[in-house]
Structure 1
Amino acid sequence: MAKQPRVLTGKVAAITGGARGIGKETARQFAAEGMRVAIGDLDLDLAKATAEELGPNVVAFPLNVTDRGSFKAFLDGAEEAVGPIDVLVNNAGIMQLGRFLDEDDATTQRQIDINVNGVLWGMKEVLPRFLARDTGHLVNVASTAGKGGFPGGATYCGTKHFVVGVSEAVRAELRETPIEVSCVMPVVVKTELASGLQPTRGVKHIEPGDVAAEIVRALKFPKFDVFVPREVQAITTAMNVLPRRGREAIGRALKADKVLDQRDDATRRAYELRASHSEPGLEPGAQAKQLTESTPDA
């Protein structure tokens, strides 16, 4: 007998970074499934506009994922507004690119604070709620960059390796409980975060809705490894049985080593500037290599 999908109608989800991109499309598809959704974002005005666009089952809250108190307030507010949370999607993240030795300390710290601590605070705040109710599904959005290292994005790759690793460890710790954990690992997604990136051979850039659809599927048919697109899992599995030289040679043949390193910085400028102001209280930086409002386009 085929496995029956879990019913999502009436479930409550909280999504970080929900005002745009993958978070917004996930909220859209959750609402279409009959779920009630709370989106949290640093840009509250945009989050409110997104919630209004997506309909009455979506509500918006302010959220700074680098601040555990802000995360708690988000979850508390969400539960008061739409009910006990059944699903948390740790989606918020930034990707600031450049060679490792060219990266200023503020950029390094910002990516760690948002991509690593932002996931940790969400897990620490939501898992006790799940355990108290003996139900819940944690979804951590990582990246295929969490399965390999790519020049031009060393810190970003490191943060996504962390998300994969902590997700695996916590899943093992929760094995004897009904709590589900999923780790989502998409290729390059057509969002502002990926602006100016070149395609690889054989793996095309995907839409935010593609990632959202796989998250929905992982809720209906729980699984840990959620590769997007799905065929990337077979590629990753095959690569892992090869010696390092073989893996690296295939990566170069697919131009995977060029994706983050040979980007169009002029196209990325608006995103990089926004990302450099994405953590309140952390100055963008004053070093010569730090992106500022006056950075030339050329």
Structure 2
Amino acid sequence: MKRIAITGGAQGIGAATAREFAAKGHSVVIGDIDAKLVAETAGAIASDTGATVVGLPLDVTDAAAFATFLDKVEAELGGLDVLVNNAGIMPTGPFLDETDGVSDRQIDINVRAVVVGSKLAGRRFAERGHGQIVNVASAAGLVAAPGVAVYCATKFAVVGLGDALDQELSPLGVTVTTICPGYVNTQLIAGVKQPWLVRKIAFVEPEAISNAIVSSVEKNHGGLRLVPFRANAMVAPMRLLPAAVRHLVAHATGVHDAGINTDESARQAYRDRTEHLDLATTRSRQTATKKQSTK
């Protein structure tokens, strides 16, 4: 049985993944910035499955806190075999209207934290000669769309990171897997229109993603995996088309407008949870990190 750490594990894909790992007898620690919710989620999963499931507070944008989190995971579970970098946010709307704070927050959570987590876990795994990193990207990291420009940029980065690390770390015994979900039925897409073709081909429940993650870990499969697999029928051809044709297809299918013309009343709760920023804290943390790096 493996010992698993999952970021962003209080709800959505993270919670579904924790539940599936636990149901199969693996030991799990989930981290989330919502300390109360992550404790409740872990308790519920542990009670339902009988597995060891622990919930710990975690701000993935704080590198020192991330390192401490992994230390606690190893103390709780007696070691660490797998890190699932799942934490991520997806603000929507016109690029020119997006504040610098919201853009920075996406980069901090969706990219920088994945890089930091991959280094922290990768070093531990390489030293032992085994381990697996699973990075959750997105289909939006393969085919971009308006209304989620910075989000797409962050997920393209995660896809590129995963491809490079899968090649670089494999000789050290470290497997790197990149999971690219389509439209997943979580609060992340609340109020986002689901065009008929996307709904038919790429819409899934969180359990489809958790199943892909758990399967990849149990089989030790690295590389990139688009979920659901049938979404390749849409994504693969789109990546090969000339840009002008790709944009016409996006307009015709409704994908072009999905991230811009959102239902803001339905999306407000998600915005409140992910876009309210303490910029002073963020800036002071970034300044402290820069100072440490120059020492």
Q: Which runs of 5+ in 1 are unaligned?
A: 1-9, 285-298
The aligned counterpart of 1:209 is: 207
Distance 2:168 2:277 in 1: 32
1:230-249 to structure 2, matched below 5 A, reads 230-249=229-248
**Does the CA-based 8 Å contact 1:106-1:283 persist in structure 2?**
no
TM-aligned CA distance change 1:111 to 1:279, over 3 Å: farther
Contact 2:190 2:267 in 1 (8 A): yes
Amino acid at match of 1:33: K
TM-score between the two structures when normalised by the length of structure 1: 0.88
User: What's 1:16 paired with?
Assistant: 7
Whether 1:149 aligns to 2:144 is yes
Cα distance in 2 between the residues matched to 1:143 and 1:279: 27
Normalising to structure 2: TM-score of the pair?
Answer: 0.89
Q: Could you say which residue in structure 2 is the equivalent of 1:287?
A: none
TM alignment of 1:157-176, pairs within 5 A: 157-176=152-171
Deviation of the 1:233 alpha carbon: 2.4
- 4+ residue segments displaced more than 4 Å: 278-284
Structure 2 alignment gaps of length 5 or more: 284-295
Provide the residue aligned with 1:290 in structure 2: none
Q: Does the Cα contact within 8 Å between 1:66 and 1:279 map onto a contact in 2?
A: no
Summarize deviations over 1:134-184 as a string: whole Å, max 9, x none.
111110001111112211111111111111111111112123232111111
1:250 aligned partner: 249
Give the counterpart letter for 1:161 in structure 2. F
2:45 to 54, 76, 86: 54
Aligned to 1:293: none
Q: What's the secondary structure of 2:44's corresponding residue? A: helix
Question: Quick check: 1:64–1:279 contact (8 Å CA) kept in 2?
Answer: no
Report Cα offsets for 1:233-262 as digits up to 9, x if no partner.
Answer: 243222223222222222222221122112
Counterpart among 123, 126, 129 of residue 131 in structure 1: 126
Cα distance in 2 for partners of 1:119, 1:278 equals: 20
Q: 1:225 maps to what in 2?
A: 224
Contact 2:101–2:279 (8 Å) recurs in 1: no
* Structure 2 equivalent of residue 268 of structure 1: 267
1:95 aligns with 2:93: no
Greater helix proportion:
2
Aligned residue number for residue 34 of structure 1: 25
Is 1:116 matched with 2:107?
A: no
The structure-2 alpha-carbon separation of the partners of 1:166 and 1:190, relative to structure 1 and needing over 3 Å to count, comes to: same
CA distance in structure 2 between the partners assigned to 1:236 and 1:111 by the alignment: 23
Task: Give 3-state SS (helix, strand or coil) of 2:125's partner.
Answer: helix
The equivalences for 1:69-108 within 5 A come to 69-108=64-103
Q: Indicate the percent of aligned positions where both proteins have the same amino acid.
A: 41
Contact 2:125 2:173 in 1 (8 A): no
Counterpart in the other structure of 2:293: none
Aligned residues: 275
